Chains A and B, each alone.
Chain A
Amino acid sequence: MATLPAPAPVQPRRRRSNRPAWEGRPSLAVSLVKAVVLLLIAIVMLYPFVYVIGMSFASARAAASGFVLFPTEFSLDAYRTLLSGNAVPQALQVSVGITLAGTALSVVFTVLMAYGLTRTKDVPGARFILYLALLTMLFSAGIIPNFLLIKSLGLIDTYTALILGSTSGFISAFNLVVIRNFFMELPQEVLDAARVDGASEWQVLTKVVLPLSKAVIAVIALFYGVAYWNDFFTAMIYINDTSKWPIQVVLNQYVLTGTPLDALAQGNTTERTVTPKTIKMAIVVLSTLPVLVVYPFLQRYFTKGVLTGAIKG
């Protein structure tokens, strides 16, 4: 008598790869969806920039249509109007000077303070000072106490007030924490080795710590630079001499008050060469251009620096 053949064994299903699903190569459909989403996000983010730049280079006639992305009639009149006056070139010079000087000084003092505060066990009072610094992240003294302090130091109407009285702080507690954490993550053995070799603390800082900290220093320099460049309130409160106003205060005047506009107010001329909108956009471009120019050079440090400074081991 014949026997029935045994059923074939069931083969288990196998994945094509042993890698997790999210590490696998995405399918064409998924890639397309991702591309479309990223493109839309890029358009949304770039659109305001393109609009502002386009409008700033538009002639009055082109701008009158209300919507200009790529001007049909190109004109530099808005920039000529702004740069031919006294206010904008002077303000740009002030802003550049304050930003460079303020950034340099703030970085130096922040680094020194952060390094000192890494040794809270060895330096008497360091922990207390660290807590005081952190307290400033919670709340500020307020406009009037700060004003009275600056006034009592005799700094009203001085460039020093723009640096020491900066809204984000001459030594920002946030930046201080970022750098301090980074310093504390550095291998202690390297620092100890330097000390054993006879290096002073200053030599340890300058010859060992700082060369290893380029990324995070670039990051806080960028933070400070942007803060000084954008600082409007400090100048508005502490500076009475209009020749010392930085670009943001002048920008405020032009954008919010629409001056010197009404180019129609150009005496007997009947033709508008600029409109309030083109002037405003031009001054927005002038005031954001320096930051946009500098940022790409620091970008490679940015991501690395922020993450390594922010994470406590």
Chain B
Amino acid sequence: MPAEPLSRRQIIRLGLGVGVGVTASTVLGACGGDAGDSASSGSRELKLPSFTPPRELPGTTISSFPDVAPAYDAYPRPPFKSVANPPITSGKPVTTFQILFPAPPPPVDRNPYWQEMNKRLGGELRPTLAPYQSYGEKLQTTIASGDMPDIVFVEPGQNAQAVVRTFKEGAFTDLTDILGGDGVKKFPNLAQVPTASWKHAAIEGRLYGVPKPLNQLIADAGFAYRMDWAEKAGMTSKPKNADELVEFLKALSGNGRWALGAMYPRWFLMMYRAPNNWRLGSDGKLVYYVESDELEPAVQFINKLWKAGVFHPDAPTQAWSPQAEDLFLSDKVASVGGNFGSHFGRRGTVGNFRNAHPGVEIGHLMPMGFDGGKPAIFQRQALFGQFCIPAKVGKDSARLEELLRVLDYTGAPFGSEEFLFMTFGIEGRHYTKDPQGNPVAVPQGPVTEEIGINYFNQPSEAVFYFPGVPGDSVAAQKWVEEAAPNWIPDPTWGLISDTNNRKAAALRQLEDDYLLGVATGRRPMSDLKVWRDEWRKGGGEDIRREFQESLERSSG
């Protein structure tokens, strides 16, 4: 599958104050709130950290679906304090390795945000910032050097697949026994991290880091589309099956406009209930989506849409990209996919669209079953990376506890004063407040560059909160509620395959070539079989075997 781990742009859309959903409990089998919760469903008994429900706040909408997070309409006034004392007490600086998405921040002597961060932590923070695109090389080089900072952000999906092996090789402190069960209650903010995030952070049944929690709905799980164009074309109701979808998209195309600005292959795979990357069969065998029976009809459908002219001509080069968003904002295409978080709020793609097109209503379209039945919505891991502590550093238990306190501070929950600082910056400098008390970021510029060091484990991308747009948080929650009953996980999460680490990028290229090639008619449908064979010979069989072995190890 364009087996996208979460990409940067998906995350960055969620930026300041634009949130997506978090589940308040796990999805697969375990339920939150109990001490000593364990993950089951084929994995070794992992003693997950117990879950403390978040504080009840005014203006909160609790979902009727147990795995969907509350939606917040406003930021509490005043925000509560979640950490009583600064976490650093040893006087030693805390070094970190972090990923950097925005422009590089100014150094600490010219950076009030950084200075304030040091004051709040009670000590000096010394981050090493790795540019997003080069994060993988820099992380691997840092680990190989043997001289790692105190806290290391590890996200293998960002071109750092090989790092997964280092977990089992003892590079990072095993936190399972420290944070498992009631152990996490020593760090009250970490105890509010959703159980699903901990579960998905586990590597072969052990915990090595504090996850950055995230919504479990993948990017491209929904389109935002222009209802004015739909109404003008007579499309007043949403399509319920594949045939109706064809008519719907055709109606949105024509006269130099198109319905879709990118290919969004996963959306259509969900319609045809293809595996979420892998499927664990009842015989215990892993099947890759390329090998599944659902692939061909899904690709045939995309090809049908291609021939119907609903895709922009540049769409094949834009499986998911900012160009597709530009096309939407330039009134060239009727819809936009991307991270569904960018469909809500003042500052995502749709927010920007609304600013430029006041009064135009936006509709949301989730995948439907091709036959009118239920789709299979691809779940995403409930985290984007995790903050790990090197084994060498973790040997000192006092230092380990201090670093976990730092992560407890940076992971402060929504509604707290610490969350406001971590996510938005300094009031009056990086944000102001609207009459309802919601934070409003100042215009982008040299001042906003200061907060570039703030990418920690705060749950800003795991809550339904869209300041300044009342109703969007509940709308987003409803969208996740619509998907949640039908979402399916990837059974290889938390498993290790060395071949996958080495060859994932090359095999992904194969997928882009064949899937898009067949979908656009550049290749015949029979090439799907060629793709399947090339995948198997190119490392796919080894990957399957290694994942199976890892699954057996995880099962104990």
> Which residues of A line the B interface, CB within 8 A?
64-66, 81, 84-87, 143-144, 147-148, 151, 233, 236-237, 240-243, 245, 249-250, 252-254, 256-272, 275-277
Contact = CB atoms under 8 A, between A and B. Distances in A.
A83 to B, nearest CB: 10
Interface in B431-455: 440-446, 448-449, 452
B309 interface: no
A265 B107 contact: no
A242 B332 CA distance: 38
A82 to B, nearest CB: 9
Given A151-B147, A266-B443, A267-B443, A85 B103 contact: yes
A144 B144 contact: yes
Contacts, number: 135
Contacts of A271: 356
A263 B444 contact: yes
B100 A253 contact: yes
Interface string B456-490: 00000000000000000000000000000000000
Nearest to A255: B133
B454 to A, nearest CB: 14
A242 B443 CA distance: 22
B495 to A, nearest CB: 26
Contacts of A151: 145, 147
Contact of B132 (A85, A144, A256, A260): A256
Nearest to B106: A86
A252 B101 CA distance: 11
A236 B352 contact: no
A258 B444 CA distance: 13
Contacts of B131: 236, 249, 252-253, 257
Interface residues of B, number: 48
B103 A254 contact: yes
A243 B446 contact: no
A76 to B, nearest CB: 16
Contacts of A258: 9, 12, 322
A239 to B, nearest CB: 9
Interface in B144-171: 144-145, 147
Given A64-B330, A236-B138, A269 B446 contact: no
Contact of B102 (A81, A240, A257, A264): A257
B162 to A, nearest CB: 12
Given A84-B446, A143-B137, A252-B131, A259 B356 contact: no
Given A147-B144, A236-B138, A237-B138, A260 B449 contact: yes
5 A-B pairs with least C-beta separation: A242-B104, A264-B352, A240-B128, A266-B443, A267-B443
B103 A253 contact: yes
A249 B134 CA distance: 9
Contact of A241 (B12, B107, B444, B452): B107
B133 A257 contact: yes
Given A243-B107, A254-B103, A236 B134 contact: yes
B473 to A, nearest CB: 19
Given A86-B106, A86-B446, A267-B441, 20 more contacts: A64-B326, A66-B326, A66-B330, A66-B332, A81-B444, A85-B446, A87-B104, A147-B141, A147-B144, A151-B145, A237-B141, A242-B104, A243-B107, A253-B132, A258-B9, A258-B12, A261-B444, A265-B441, A266-B443, A267-B442
A153 to B, nearest CB: 13
B532 interface: no
B515 interface: no
Contacts of B128: 240
Nearest to B110: A86
Contact of B103 (A144, A260, A264): A260
A140 B43 CA distance: 43
Contact of A242 (B105, B141, B442): B105
Interface in B287-337: 322, 326-327, 329-330, 332
